Structure 1
Amino acid sequence: MAAPPRLSGRNRAPMTIRQRIIRRVLMIIPMALLTFVVMRMGWLDQAADKLTFSKVSWFDNTALVEHFRTVVTHNGMTHDRKDCLLFVLNGNDPPDATNLEVMERHSGSCPGDRNTLPRLFTLRVDRLSQSVQTDWQTPGVFHAMPQ
């Protein structure tokens, strides 16, 4: 009985174990580098935020804080890491409009004087119109948040 025909049309010798290992390593190294670059650039965080943040999330404080944690670190409003930001919600604000104080945390692996908690800026969130204003770079004067 004859062997089934090969689709490539070439008769090659079977690959050795060494060739298989080299081929797999040459494939894994660029994939690992690409994964590292995607994580360092924050593209993975932004993609996850776009997939999970919806119109309903504007009324969920936890989802709102996580969304703004990603936004303010990726649009240049702060150079701090996401985990070094502290968002303080004012409990006396009306439910449709919320002020979020963005503070710089100095504990754990976050650098800085541990006895201070500097205020960076305030976010004024209108949940009904889904708009945000900030006093970033202009304390006390609110303007549209940079995209």
Structure 2
Amino acid sequence: MTTPPPANTTPPSGPDWRKLLGKLLPNRSNGPTAKRTLRQHALRRIAFVLPLALLMIGLSKSGLMDRVVDRYTFRPESWFDDTALIRHLRLVVTHNGMTHDRPECLLFIVNGNDAPTASRMDVMEKHSGSCPGPKGELPKLFTLQVNRMERTVMSDQNSPGQFHPIP
């Protein structure tokens, strides 16, 4: 004689997915607060930091970071500050193709006899330290004429004495 199953029982359900997932990913079974091994922790850090470091190195080498910094730090009042203006012009001169020297290999000499609102700057090529070339020489590349009131820069590159707008 067989006894029928009790009326209030539920039929057996499918596989318990949490248990199966726990077997496949043992450290994921408890959710986001699960303990990680040291190896998992190190791999996650490397997977996060390495691409960011490579991206920053690439942006730095391309000069994009310098241009972004210049865009946000060079203000209208910086035209009257020689240090800020030279930092800006060094970036402009090297990135627009006026010279193929590295920015740190350029020397800007401000003419002190000019009016404060309009000055001339000689751009020289340094040959010392990590800059290539015969030591102790400072060949003149070109002269920049800066009108601080109108915020314009003119150059006599390839035409000494005749100034034209910089590219």
Does the TM-score normalized on the shorter chain lie above 0.5?
Answer: yes
Other structure's SS at 2:109 match: strand
Please, which of 130, 143, 147 is the counterpart of residue 109 of structure 1? 130
CA drift at 1:123: 0.7
| TM-score using structure 2 length | 0.76
1:89 correspondence with 2:97 = no
- 1:136 and 2:154 equivalent? no
Alpha-carbon shift at residue 16 of structure 1 (Å): 2.8
* Structure 2: unaligned runs, 5 residues or longer: 1-20, 23-27
Aligned counterpart in structure 2 of residue 78 of structure 1, from 94, 99, 104: 99
SS at match of 2:112: coil
Asked if the contact 2:114–2:120 (Cα under 8 Å) also holds between the matched residues in 1, the reply is yes
CA RMSD of aligned residues (A): 1.5
CA deviation after TM superposition for structure 1 residue 140, in Å: 2.3
C-alpha displacement at 1:54, in angstroms?
A: 0.8
Aligned match of 2:63: 42
Deviations 1:82-140, CA, capped at 9 Å, x for gaps: 11100011111111111010000111111111132111111110111001111123322
Q: Give distance in 2, aligned partners of 1:115 and 1:60.
A: 28
Give the corresponding residue for 1:100: 121
Matched residue of 1:78: which SS? Answer: coil
Bigger Rg, structure 1 or 2? 2
Q: Which has the higher contact order (CA 8 A, sep 6+)?
A: 1
The TM-score with structure 1 as length reference comes to: 0.86
**107-116 vs 94-103, greater mean Cα deviation:** 107-116
* Alignment check: 8 A CA contact 2:123 2:141 kept: yes
The alignment covers a number of residue pairs equal to 137
Unpaired segments ≥5 residues, structure 1: 1-9
Residue deviations 1:41-71 (CA, integer Å, cap 9, x gap): 1112111111111111111111111110111
User: Contact conserved, 2:110 with 2:120, CA < 8 A, in 1?
Assistant: yes
Q: Quick check: 19-28 or 32-41, which moved more? A: 19-28
